[in-house]
Chain A
Amino acid sequence: MPDLRLAAIATHRFGLGPRPDELRIVAADPRGWVKAQLGPQHTLPAPIAALPPAEDDLLAFGRWLARRRLNGANGQRIEDRAERQGVTQEDLQRLSIEEDFVQNFRERVVRAVGARVEAAMTTETPVHERLVHFWGNHFTVSTAKPGAIALPPSFEKDAIRPNVGGRFANMLLASTKHPGMIVYLDNWLSVGPNSQAAQNPSRARRLPGGGRPTGINENLAREVLELHTLGVNGGYTQTDVQALAAIITGWTYERPRLRDLVSDSVADRNGAQLFEFDENAHEPGPKTLLNRTYPQTGVAQGEAALNDLARHPSTARFIATKLTRHYIADAPPSAAVARVERAFRESEGDLRVTMEALVDSSEAWETPFAKFKRPEEYAITLLRLANLRTIPPGAGIAALGAMGQRPYAAPGPDGWADIADAWLTADLVWKRLEFAQAYSARIARADLDPMSLGEACLGPLLSDETRTAVSRAESPAQGLALLCGAPEMQRR
């Protein structure tokens, strides 16, 4: 018996909203449709496959730095001149290295955002694509940090996508070894105090500014514990942060040499291939993390520690809570959390088995509209509603930014918030409705009937109130705007 109601729940709660023909197909077996997409996928969506590889991003970054330095002027002299000529610091900012950098990389980022949105609006496996977005947010690498501005897309492509539906430990290792994460959370700057590099500075790699790093940087280690594995209350101390930081000293990436910067040869290596273990920077000796001593030498020490963290009971609890909060409710029902947690623990972090436990929870199919969609998810719902296949370059980035969620630009390493309180605010709701109206005006056509679109998108979940409002609209464009702005389009 086809079930359009469960199909609507499945496509909105687990997918990205249905395209016009999707609801009828899903209705044959809503749970089966979700479950069939939970395992690994071996091909990349076409728009993602077409993006430049991590090495190209890093070379572009290196070329930009080298060019700046080759053509660089004396900063202090310019500041003096600015003061004499009455140019404010704020105006001078337009000439700053960071601003120039953003200008240089804007096109690259715009292209990547377009690819992400196109992949989401055209995918035949929206449940899988939603999981990519979830895990990309769990392991946040953000363009908000200038030094990492080119890297979030290749990070998502190299570290997240191949491991969705696979083992959590593999995703954790891929993330911690990717140049994107290593730059974003400063691990390339971290040097063990008793390492060769610290004892004999001529062995240390130079920083872009010319100095050499001399100390431990705890940033990545702290976030691995707090945000990626155990969670902030997961039972670790500052001593554990320091231990993990020492364990992963030397985890860096192959930095382009000048010869590479001037060469035309193809830069086609991905982030995993660019990982490098710098023995000279590694703090020697065994280390103790969470009461366990790691005697291994070299990179194996960090790999062993991360594998243990991935299997830790606190990690199971933390991941289960986050998944349940993301898919079911802001205050995740504890019975569902417990089931997902057990599946994660007993399968040793098999993410397909973990998600199957969530999908099998009755709570996942009750109380539709318990969750308020985040802006990106909301925008993608609207794009899929009208069956759009492509978007013009750059379209929508400003709108997503205004709605509070510019893709790849989460404000901090904890990623985008996953509760309605963060998004259901006066100003953000207003910006959503501005977007909904502009979008409706753009797609409105004489043959596009808002009511049929609403039924194709929501089935029996389309409310009587929304039907009435849409039927009384003064124009198809207004009807579309009312449908797009309706509560049931903004929630799942």
Chain B
Amino acid sequence: MLNRRHLLAGATGATALSFPVFAFGQAQATDKRLLIIILRGGMDGLAAIAPLGDPAYANARGRLALQRSGQNAALALDSTFALNPKLPKMHALYRAGELLPIHACATAYRERSHFDAQNVLETGASAPFARTEGWLNKALGALPNSRPEMGMALSAQAPLILRGPANVATWSPSTLPNVDDDTMARLLALYEARDPALAHALTSAMSANGVAMDSGAGGMTGAGPRSITPIAQVAARFLKDDHGPIAAVMEMSGWDTHANQGIEQGPLVRALTALDEGLDAFRTEMGPAWSNTVVIIATEFGRTVAPNGANGTDHGTGMAAFVAGGAVRGGRVLADWPGLGHAALYQGRDLRPTTDLRGVFKGVLAGHLRVPNAVLEHDAFPDSGSVRGIQDLLHA
């Protein structure tokens, strides 16, 4: 097997001037870690966390309503809420006090376009396409003792949340044959002479491959459809490495359940199962570092309260999210519940949002990573002065 670390050492000598601090070169100054899982497509929050105690729930949800008892009974959280039966491992985390479900939340966005909504979720702005940088990039870039590539995307392309002036690393499993080190070194030299953007990308890829190879994940080619378990395990390997990133982002698609989304089987059921298993695999792989870890699971919007004609749900507003990890004060549901009675619905069709997700993000960034308030207010989440960071998300 090729040793890319070795190649890296050779390349560093030649490039010391243009890259004074090499990616992953020195240990991070903090042992806090953050993983963000973006659920693309709009997770049905009322299916993930069912408000069984809301008297309007059963009627409003119709054929998609979950039950308190029976073979496929929802997993009780408190007198009002219950987790989807396909989330048993997250339910165990909740009982261990390490999962904080959040309900009836939303970004600042109130329309129903995936692309606009994901844009707002990831830029932290109050309107779509108001800016081109992601809030996590801005937050990481502002940390004291900032160094290159504190953030990492577990995907071939950095998602918007990680784009911006701060360098971030990207990594995804390879299905192609290995390459010749000497040719790569020559290409790097050519890029340095001609094309700084390509030079930077190649340098970063070389260092990320070094870590992945050393952890034994280099030969990974991905598992079955929908599973996020292997990629979650690699995320953990990067994050628990002292020389790795302090924050990582992974994405999961398959949540846009317009048709036949299912209660006992169907696309939503499979997605929830994959999420449950992926989070559990991440926790296991983190080992002792789990106690210093926060995981945020968020999506771009919720879905309609009522099922549509095709036994699915359409784009909605109020959604559910999760914060998990050893550092989280969980075992309770965070929700200012607006109710599902018709008069309480947003525009007569959606769950009304009562909690601003930016408050959750700010609370985690401030409490966990110690991102200064001024950065949160002005750089990470512009025009969000009225949204306070939620204070008690984490253990003191």
Q: Which of A391-443 contact B (CB under 8 A)?
A: 398-399, 401-402, 404, 411-412, 414, 420-431, 433-435, 437-438
A398 with B175, Cβ < 8 A, contacts A98-B225, A217-B309 known: yes
Q: Which of A112-141 contact B (CB under 8 A)?
A: none
Inter-subunit contact B225/A426 (CB<8 Å): no
Q: Which residue of B lies closest to A474 (CB)?
A: B182
Q: Is B91 an interface residue (CB 8 A)?
A: no
Inter-subunit contact A399/B311 (CB<8 Å): no
Inter-subunit contact A424/B156 (CB<8 Å): no
What is the bound-complex CA distance between A424 and B202, given in angstroms? 10
B 26-47 binary contact with A (CB < 8 Å = 1; else 0): 0000000000000000000000
Inter-subunit contact B190/A438 (CB<8 Å): no
Inter-subunit contact A211/B128 (CB<8 Å): no
A 316-339 binary contact with B (CB < 8 Å = 1; else 0): 000000000000000000000000
Query: Which chain B positions have C-beta within 8 A of A465?
Result: 190, 193-194
Q: Is A447 an interface residue (CB 8 A)?
A: no
Query: Which chain A positions have C-beta within 8 A of B223?
Result: 90
What is the bound-complex CA distance between A423 and B158, given in angstroms? 9
Q: Is B169 an interface residue (CB 8 A)?
A: yes
What is the bound-complex CA distance between A402 and B309, given in angstroms? 38
A490 with B169, Cβ < 8 A, contacts A99-B224, A431-B174 known: no
Inter-subunit contact B311/A211 (CB<8 Å): yes
A99 with B225, Cβ < 8 A, contacts A425-B158, A425-B201, A434-B176 known: yes
Q: Which residue of B lies closest to A198 (CB)?
A: B309
Query: Which chain B positions have C-beta within 8 A of A425?
Result: 153, 156-158, 170, 201
Inter-subunit contact B227/A90 (CB<8 Å): yes
Inter-subunit contact A402/B310 (CB<8 Å): no
Q: Is A200 an interface residue (CB 8 A)?
A: no
Query: Which chain B positions have C-beta within 8 A of A402?
Result: 174-176
Inter-subunit contact A482/B184 (CB<8 Å): no
What is the bound-complex CA distance between A107 and B225, given in angstroms? 18
Inter-subunit contact B175/A426 (CB<8 Å): no
Query: Which chain B positions have C-beta within 8 A of A222?
Result: 112-113
What is the bound-complex CA distance between A490 and B270, given in angstroms? 39
What is the CB-to-nearest-CB distance from A305 to chain B, in angstroms, rounded to a whole number? Answer: 20
A232 with B197, Cβ < 8 A, contacts A217-B310, A434-B177 known: no
Interface 9-mer from B7-15, B204-212, B291-299, B377-385:
B204-212
Q: Is A66 an interface residue (CB 8 A)?
A: no
Inter-subunit contact B310/A213 (CB<8 Å): yes
Query: Which chain A positions have C-beta within 8 A of B202?
Result: 426, 429-430, 433
Query: Which chain A positions have C-beta within 8 A of B177?
Result: 434, 437-438
What is the CB-to-nearest-CB distance from B299 to chain A, in angstroms, rounded to a whole number? Answer: 14
Q: Is B171 an interface residue (CB 8 A)?
A: yes
Interface size class of A (residues with CB under 8 A): 35 or more
B 157-177 binary contact with A (CB < 8 Å = 1; else 0): 110000100000111101111
Query: Which chain A positions have C-beta within 8 A of B155?
Result: 427
B 279-307 binary contact with A (CB < 8 Å = 1; else 0): 00000000000000000000000000000
Inter-subunit contact A463/B194 (CB<8 Å): yes
Q: Which residue of B lies closest to A186 (CB)?
A: B258
What is the bound-complex CA distance between A480 and B347, given in angstroms? 61
Query: Which chain B positions have C-beta within 8 A of A88?
Result: 277
Inter-subunit contact B179/A437 (CB<8 Å): yes
Query: Which chain B positions have C-beta within 8 A of A76?
Result: 264
Inter-subunit contact B170/A427 (CB<8 Å): yes
Q: Which residue of B lies closest to A215 (CB)?
A: B309
Q: Is B253 an interface residue (CB 8 A)?
A: yes
Q: Which residue of B lies closest to A490 (CB)?
A: B198
Q: Which of A428-474 contact B (CB under 8 A)?
A: 428-431, 433-435, 437-438, 463, 465-466, 469, 473-474
B 196-237 binary contact with A (CB < 8 Å = 1; else 0): 011001111110110000000000000111110100000000
Q: Is A481 an interface residue (CB 8 A)?
A: yes
What is the bound-complex CA distance between A88 and B204, given in angstroms? 37
Inter-subunit contact B195/A487 (CB<8 Å): yes
Query: Which chain B positions have C-beta within 8 A of A463?
Result: 194
Q: Is A194 an interface residue (CB 8 A)?
A: no
Query: Which chain B positions have C-beta within 8 A of A213?
Result: 309-310
Inter-subunit contact B310/A431 (CB<8 Å): no
What is the bound-complex CA distance between A481 and B183, given in angstroms? 8
Inter-subunit contact B309/A90 (CB<8 Å): no
Q: Is B342 an interface residue (CB 8 A)?
A: no
Q: Which residue of B lies closest to A207 (CB)?
A: B310
Inter-subunit contact A426/B186 (CB<8 Å): no
What is the bound-complex CA distance between A117 and B182, given in angstroms? 31
Interface size class of B (residues with CB under 8 A): 35 or more
What is the bound-complex CA distance between A226 and B128, given in angstroms? 13
Q: Which residue of A lies closest to B253 (CB)?
A: A411
What is the CB-to-nearest-CB distance from A172 to chain B, in angstroms, rounded to a whole number? Answer: 19
Inter-subunit contact A93/B208 (CB<8 Å): no
Q: Is A41 an interface residue (CB 8 A)?
A: no
B 108-141 binary contact with A (CB < 8 Å = 1; else 0): 0001111110000000000011000000000000
Q: Is B308 an interface residue (CB 8 A)?
A: yes
What is the bound-complex CA distance between A463 and B189, given in angstroms? 14
What is the bound-complex CA distance between A485 and B270, given in angstroms? 40
Q: Which residue of A lies closest to B119 (CB)?
A: A232
Query: Which chain A positions have C-beta within 8 A of B156?
Result: 404, 425, 427-428, 431
Q: Is B314 an interface residue (CB 8 A)?
A: yes
Inter-subunit contact B112/A238 (CB<8 Å): yes
Inter-subunit contact A469/B208 (CB<8 Å): no
Q: Is B259 an interface residue (CB 8 A)?
A: yes
Q: Is A55 an interface residue (CB 8 A)?
A: no
What is the CB-to-nearest-CB distance from B350 to chain A, in angstroms, rounded to a whole number? Answer: 11
Residue of B113, B157, B193 touching A422 (CB-CB under 8 A): B157
B 86-121 binary contact with A (CB < 8 Å = 1; else 0): 000000000000000000000000011111100000
A426 with B205, Cβ < 8 A, contacts A99-B224, A399-B176, A434-B174 known: yes
Inter-subunit contact A482/B260 (CB<8 Å): no
Q: Which residue of A lies closest to B224 (CB)?
A: A93
Q: Is A72 an interface residue (CB 8 A)?
A: no
Residue of A191, A232, A401, A437 touching B113 (CB-CB under 8 A): A232
Query: Which chain B positions have C-beta within 8 A of A430?
Result: 174, 201-202, 205-206, 209
Inter-subunit contact A437/B169 (CB<8 Å): no
Q: Is A16 an interface residue (CB 8 A)?
A: no
Residue from A89, A98, A473, A482 whose CB has the most chain B CB atoms within 10 Å: A89
What is the CB-to-nearest-CB distance from A260 to chain B, in angstroms, rounded to a whole number? Answer: 23
Q: Is A340 an interface residue (CB 8 A)?
A: no
Inter-subunit contact A426/B183 (CB<8 Å): no
Query: Which chain B positions have C-beta within 8 A of A90?
Result: 223-224, 227, 229, 274, 277
Q: Which residue of A lies closest to B184 (CB)?
A: A433
Q: Which residue of B lies closest to A97 (CB)?
A: B265
Inter-subunit contact B115/A93 (CB<8 Å): no
What is the bound-complex CA distance between A217 and B204, given in angstroms? 44
With A427-B170, A434-B177 already in contact, 4 other A-B pairs whose C-beta atoms are closer than 8 Å:
A209-B311, A421-B163, A424-B201, A473-B186
Closest 4 CB pairs of A and B: A215-B309, A430-B205, A426-B204, A487-B195
16 residue pairs from A and B, CB less than 8 Å apart: A90-B227, A94-B224, A414-B115, A424-B198, A424-B201, A425-B157, A425-B170, A426-B204, A427-B155, A427-B171, A427-B208, A428-B156, A474-B182, A482-B186, A487-B195, A490-B198
